[in-house]
Structures are given as structure tokens and as C-alpha cells.
Amino acid sequence: MNRRAIFPGSFDPITNGHFDIITRGASLFDEVIVAIGVNAEKKYMFSLEDRKRFIEEAFKHEPKVKVITYHGLTIDLCKKEKADFILRGLRNPADFEFEKAIAHTNRVMSKIETVFLLTAARTSFISSSIVRDVLRNGGDVSKLVPESVQVHK
């Protein structure tokens, strides 16, 4: 049986924190499906195509990582992709409280388990919103994001 995990998010853009969680997840699971959620209510800095390309490029040498886009509930996507796990990264106690509520809800609605990985200390301060703010103000994001995002500028 393949151990497959979905790593959902908006990845606007992917950060070194995301990269770390995906890389570590790939060592735990047979496949990690990075699932870019589409939310019509949200304003994104990068197009869906760019966000997908950034991740695909960052993991082009890792066959265990697949990148897809989706609408709707993550647990429905898990069923469709035959994934028994949702992978999430935790940076701080606020992330934990937020993610815990979602994980409990998902488990009540399905048999899908959420696996939490703590972010590495060196990336725990990075968020996509911080990266977007630095980019908007012309700052250097080279230490915050994979090279695939940096070359986009």
C-alpha cells in the first residue's frame, strides 16, 4: 500500500519553509501531493500557473513530489487521490491551534489523519505573506524562497 499525503495550501509563493516540509514529507511518505487550493475569494500575487510552476521547478529532481491544483474540500481531494494523510507544517503555537481545529474536523468527516511537522528553526519565521510584502517593497527574498521563485522577478 502506498503511503500518500496531500500537502494543501495556496503557496503564494512557495517559501523555504514549505520546501523544507515537502522535502521532509517525501522522506516519510511514498508520495507527497502538493495541492494548490483555488479560492475565488482570495487575491493572489502570483497566478495559479506560476505557483504550480515554482513548485514543479523546485522539485523537478524529486519523483515522490507531484503538484496539482484543486477546488473544494481537502478531504474530498484526499479521497479522489487515494491519500490517507494530510501533511501540515507548524511554525508556532498559533499555527497549532488553527491546524488542530481543522485536523479534528477532517477526522470527524473522514478517516484521514493529519500529520504535523515542525518547521526547521531556520525557516520558522517565513510566511508567504512576509515574502509578498518584501517583494512588493522591492526587497531581496533570496534567503526566503526557492530559486524557482527568485528567477521569476
Q: Which residues are bridge partners to 152 per DSSP?
A: none
71 is catalytic: no
**Does residue 51 have a known ligand-binding role?**
no
Q: In what order do the strands lie in the sheet with 85-90?
A: 65-70, 31-37, 4-9, 85-90, 113-118
99 among the known binding-site residues? Answer: yes
Treating both helix axes as pointing N-terminal to C-terminal, what angle do 93-109 and 74-81 enclose, rounded to 10 degrees? Answer: 60
Q: Could you say which of 42, 43, 61, 136 is catalytic? A: 42
Residue 18 annotated as catalytic: yes
Active-site residue flag, 153: no
- Would the annotation count 90 as a binding residue? yes
Specify whether 110 is catalytic: no
Which residue of the set 53, 64, 66, 91 is catalytic?
91
User: Whose CA is closest to 75, among 65, 85, 66?
Assistant: 85
91 annotated to a ligand binding site: yes
33 in helix, strand or coil? strand
Binding site per annotation, positions for ATP: 10-11, 18, 89-91, 99, 123-129
Return the active site residues.
18, 42, 91, 128
Binding site per annotation, positions: 10-11, 18, 42, 74, 88-91, 99, 123-129
